[in-house]
Each structure stands twice: as structure tokens, then as C-alpha cells.
Structure 1
Amino acid sequence: MTNIGYTLLTEQSGPRSLVEHAASAERTGFDFAVMSDHYFPWLHPQGHAPYAWSVLGAVAQVTSDIELMTYVTAPIMRYHPAVVAQKAATLGLLSRDRFLLGLGAGENLNEHVIGRGWPPVNVRHEMLSEAVEIISALFEGGHVDYVGSHYRVDSAKLWDLPDRRVPIGTAVSGPQSIRQFAATSDAMIAVTPESRLCQDWDRASNTTGDRKIGQLPICWDPDRDAAVKRAHEQFSWFAGGWKVNSELPVPDSFAAATSYVRPEDVASAIPCGPESGPIVDAVSSFQQAGFTDVALVQIGVDSDPAGFFAFVREELLPALRPAER
């Protein structure tokens, strides 16, 4: 059965709203909630970028059952991996073992702010590989010393560890990143419903039991035209793809890069409007590819949060879950 999650998108909502949305997502019946970790929004109309880890701490206190996850944190520049390990262990405790640490190689948009430039993708993958080693070692307990090409750790130790070792999910986009991270991760994270990703992951990890966690943007609205307009305004950046999006430094860059994207282009890629059918079809593409989990992103949720969560509870989840049995 595919788990259906909700995305707490820090780029489009302030911290108080995100906490309220998390509580609503749990009441609605979502299986898990993921949170983005950005320093900037993709585009100016999104308008937000609170600190994800503070918000997650609050979310852990207003929820009791729903699984929580970062989607994703980059432990390569803005955060040192030893600090990410400490944050993740603390979230594991605050959530009573409901937290999964989602990691990725990051985007220029969020990492350039520390003034160290932006490394090429192969270097970022090297950095992420070392970061996963450091975080995993710290999760085991005891003191950790580490000397790598990119990081050093001197006698680090996590003094507060949850009962359950925090699982690690790693974002991948192709064979190279899968080969690099499948063996050291508990779950795969990807945003495109490609069966090849799931198959390659299973081969590289030597198991078929790992979770594969995808993400699907949608724009529910009783008025389809309003949904298409909102999706175009806030999510035209989505058309660029990861290879482009990871390199652009500021929201103005995304606006320039996607100025050619038309509303109909966005509507062809993102389910928009009041019907559950297109969303069910889009989720099915992830299911058929082999994904075990799909996190929905409601574009512009603050426009009508009560209406959206009512739609999910009364129509969307009943339409999704019988098809899974």
C-alpha cells in the first residue's frame, strides 16, 4: 500500500501556518508529512522561508502519530553534518521516534548564502557521501573522529539519542547518485516517477525492502482557472528540472529562467482544479514505478486550507486508498 504524505512547503507558508497545516494534515489522515528546508523561496510570489528545524520542533509537539521528515536537508555547506546529526537526533526524541532524516546534495539557492561559492555536482556528491558517513557514525553513539577530503570531525558525540536510530533517506536523480548512496541509506528520495530509479536502487542496495519516497505538486481549487493561475505564479520554476534548478542562486534567477513557461505548460505537468481523478492518476504513475510513498504539495495552500484538507479527507484519500487494496 502506498503511503500518502503532505508537504509542509516552507517556501509558501510562514512558520505558524506550517504548524497549523501539520496538525490539519494529521487530522485529515495523511500518513506522513515532509518539510522543505530552504533559505529562499524559489520565486518571490511564494514569499516565505522560515527555519525548517525550528518549525519541525513545534510540529512534533502539535502532532502525535504522523511521521515527520525533511525533504530534504543538505548537510554539505550551510550545515555541518555533525550539527545535522544532532538536530535529527533531537527531532527523533521530540517526535517520539517519528522522524526520518531526508538528505540531499542541495541547491545553490540555499547554500550560496554562506559565501563559499557553489561546487560542481560531482564534488557535492562527494561531500554528501562523507556527510552520510559522519551522520551514520554519530547515530551509532560514542565519540566520532573523522578526517575526509571535505570534512573533519574532532571527538564528536551525540548525548541525546532516540530509542530508534533515525533512518536516513537520500535524494537521487540517476545511476551515479544511486550507486553512491543506496548502500548507506534506508530510503530513496526522488521527484520523478521513473521505474528505473527504483530498480537501480534495489540492485545497488541489494534489497527490495527500502522505501522509495516521491513528491507530487498539485493545485486543488474549486475554480480550475484560478488553480492554473496560482500554479503558474508559484511553480513555474518546476519546469526547469533538477539539473537547472540546483544551479540557480536567487529567486530572480528562477524568474528569468522560467519566463517562457506558460500557464498551459504548468497545467500539463501539475494536476490543477477541483477533480480528484487527475491527482489519482498522477499518484498511480509513482505507484507503478515502484514508489512506496508519495508526498503531495498543495500549491498555495494558504488560499483555502480548510477547503483543501476537507477535499483530501472527503474525496481524495477515499479515491486513492481503495485502489491500493
Structure 2
Amino acid sequence: MTEYGYFLSCEEFAPADLIEQARMAEQAGFQLLWISDHYHPWNDAQGQSPFVWSVLGALSEAVSLPVETAVTCPTVRIHPAVVAQAAATSAVMTGGRFRLGVGTGEALNEHILGDAWPPTNVRLEMLEEAILVMRRLFSGEEVSHYGTHYKVENARLYTVPDQPVAIDISGFGPAATSLAARVGDGYITMTPDESMVSQFRKGGGGAKPVSGGTKVCYGTDRDEAVRAVRRLWSNQLLPGEMGQVLPSPKHFEQLEPLITEDMVRENTVCGDDVDEHVAALTAFVDAGFDCVYVNQIGPDQRGFFDFYRTKVLPRLKR
């Protein structure tokens, strides 16, 4: 059975707005929540970036939906021992309804303390070791660890959930997907690519959950929606590794002229055509995803939730 969730964007909305969106998502019939974890937005037009762990505390009181970070980087900006404490507390506060989504991160968020930004292969090594550290801490036992990238001495989490926090791993290429299959409790990716799902399942992921997400811009004026996407989220259409290596929002702003309105129209669902919205989410279902999340770009959040409650969610495969 496919489940559908709403993707809360910390880059674009203030904490109170995110909490209200979560309430509207639950009322509209969404079954799950994702929430991004950033230090910076991708550009100044997005304009926000609250501390996700504070927002998660508020979400635990505001809604009853399961929630997951999509995704946290537990390797550079925050030591995995600290992420483990934050995740364990979130799991306790939500009554076990929290999953920790992790990935290798972006320089945009992770270089802020002046640390070097490692190449991809090193970041994957760091992520695997960080997961090992966090899983040991989730046991509630005292942990000392002397590894290649991290040191932990006499650390113990006293506030832990009844069951260890599930850790899902984000991957957009074969190496990260292989890591997710080998050590993850689930797999996260952002394109409905059946070959990646197959690699995960055959590589050791088996029946573990596969989750994916997409961004749309609902609105009655398609051209206005296209302009909103280009202004706020042109970064999602940049090719290659730029999203991982550029260090500042201003660098993404400098690349915005490369993204045309035609590119947005071809790659992002904009407007109020029900069939287009349904097809975007169904593509993930057809590719073998268990959970599909959608994010509304721009300010018309109430219109989006009314549209999905009445016209889109009732038509989706479950």
C-alpha cells in the first residue's frame, strides 16, 4: 500500500508556517510528513532556515502524523553523537513516529564552521561511520568509539525510545544507493527511477521502505506558478554536482539565469491540471516506491491543500 506525505520546506517557511502546514496536511488526508534540515536556504528569495530540531518538537504536539528529516547530514556541521541525541528525543516526543533520514549533505550547509568539504567517496565513508555511532548510542549503552573520522568517549543517551530510531539513507547515484541497501533501514531518492529502486532492493534493501519526493506549484495561473518556481527553486534544475559543492546562497543566485521558464515548464508540475499532479506522484508508485511526498512551492498553501484534499489524493493509487 502506497502512502502519501507532505514535504515541509524549512528553506522557504518560518516555524509557525511549517506547523500550520503540517496541520493542514493532516486535515487534507496526507499520511506522513517530511521536513528538510538546512542551515541556509538555497537562495535569499526562499528566505528562511529554522533549526529543524526545534520545529520537530512543536510538530510532535501539533499533529499525529509520522515525521522524518529529509535529510539530515550527521557528518560535518553536527557531530553524529549530537544528532543521535536529537533524533532519540524526537522519537520519544512523537511516540516512536520519527524516522531519521540522512545523507552526505551539501557544502551550502556543512562548511559553515570552516571545515574542509570532502569529496564524495570520503563523505560516504563519514556517513557510514556516523550511522554506526548513532546506532550504538540508540541502544542506551555507554559508547566509546575511536574511528577514522569520529571519536566518542563515555557517551550515553539516557532519553531513548523503546525501539531504536530507523535510519533511512538518501542516494542519487549508485554508490550512495549501494550504501543505503547495505546499512540503511530504508532508501530515499528524489526521482522516480525504477533502476535505482531495483539496485537498492537487489543490493540488500529487500522489502525495506523506499521513499521519494517531488515539488509542485499549484495555482490557477500556470504562468505565474512557473515564475514562482523559477524565482524560488531554480536550484533544483541545476545539473551535476553543483548542488553539493557550491558554498553559499549567492552562488546559486548567480546561476539562476541558466534556468529558463521553459525548463521549469518541462520539469515541474505547475498549475491546476489534476491529471498532471496525479501523474507526477503516480510515477513514483509505478517505479516501486512505498512512500511519496509532495511539496507546494510558494505562498498558496491553503489552496494547494484544498486542491489535493478534494481532487488529487482521492485519485491516487494506494
User: Which bin holds the TM-score, normalised by the shorter protein?
Assistant: over 0.9
Aligned partner of 2:314 in structure 1 is 318
- Other structure's SS at 1:113 match: coil
Q: Give the Å deviation of 1:49.
A: 0.7
Aligned partner of 1:304 in structure 2 is 300
Aligned partner of 2:34 in structure 1 is 34
Cα deviation digits, residues 125-183 of structure 1 (max 9, x gap): 11101001111111122111111111011111110111232111000122212222322
Aligned partner of 2:70 in structure 1 is 71
| Structure 1 pair 82–123 and aligned structure 2 pair: CA distance change class (3 A) | same
Q: Give the Å deviation of 1:70.
A: 0.1
Contact residue 238 and residue 259 of structure 2 kept, 8 A:
no
Aligned partner of 2:271 in structure 1 is 273
Q: Distance in 1 between matches of 2:242 and 2:197?
A: 23
Q: Distance in 2 between matches of 1:23 and 1:56?
A: 13
Q: Distance in 1 between matches of 2:291 and 2:279?
A: 15
Q: Give the Å deviation of 1:241.
A: 4.0
Q: Distance in 1 between matches of 2:13 and 2:46?
A: 8
Aligned partner of 1:258 in structure 2 is 256
Counterpart of 1:28, as a letter, is: A
Aligned partner of 2:196 in structure 1 is 197
1:104 aligns with 2:103: yes
- Residue-pair matches, total: 318
Aligned partner of 2:176 in structure 1 is 177
Q: Distance in 2 between matches of 1:205 and 1:230?
A: 40
Cα deviation digits, residues 243-302 of structure 1 (max 9, x gap): 2201111111112223211111012101000122111111122112111111101001xx
- Other structure's SS at 2:129 match: helix
| Structure 1 pair 163–271 and aligned structure 2 pair: CA distance change class (3 A) | same
Deviates more, 1:117-126 or 1:98-107: 117-126
Aligned-pair RMSD on alpha carbons? 1.2
Aligned partner of 1:20 in structure 2 is 20
Q: Give the Å deviation of 1:25.
A: 1.0
Q: Distance in 2 between matches of 1:4 and 1:206?
A: 21
Contact residue 212 and residue 293 of structure 1 kept, 8 A:
yes
Contact residue 194 and residue 287 of structure 2 kept, 8 A:
yes
Q: Distance in 2 between matches of 1:273 and 1:115?
A: 42
Q: Give the Å deviation of 1:227.
A: 0.8
Cα deviation digits, residues 98-119 of structure 1 (max 9, x gap): 1000000000000111111211
Percentage of matched positions with identical amino acids:
39
Alignment of 1:136-155 (within 5 A): 136-155=135-154
| Structure 1 pair 206–255 and aligned structure 2 pair: CA distance change class (3 A) | closer
| Structure 1 pair 57–47 and aligned structure 2 pair: CA distance change class (3 A) | same
Contact residue 180 and residue 186 of structure 2 kept, 8 A:
no
Alignment of 1:85-164 (within 5 A): 85-164=84-163
- Other structure's SS at 1:258 match: helix
Counterpart of 2:312, as a letter, is: L
* Unaligned 5+ runs, structure 2: none
Q: Give the Å deviation of 1:242.
A: 6.0
Q: Structure 2-normalised TM-score?
A: 0.97
- Other structure's SS at 1:55 match: helix
Counterpart of 2:145, as a letter, is: Y
- Other structure's SS at 1:70 match: strand
Deviates more, 1:38-47 or 1:69-78: 38-47
Aligned partner of 1:84 in structure 2 is 83
Counterpart of 1:182, as a letter, is: A
Alignment of 1:189-228 (within 5 A): 189-205=188-204, 207=206, 209-228=207-226
Q: Distance in 1 between matches of 2:234 and 2:180?
A: 30
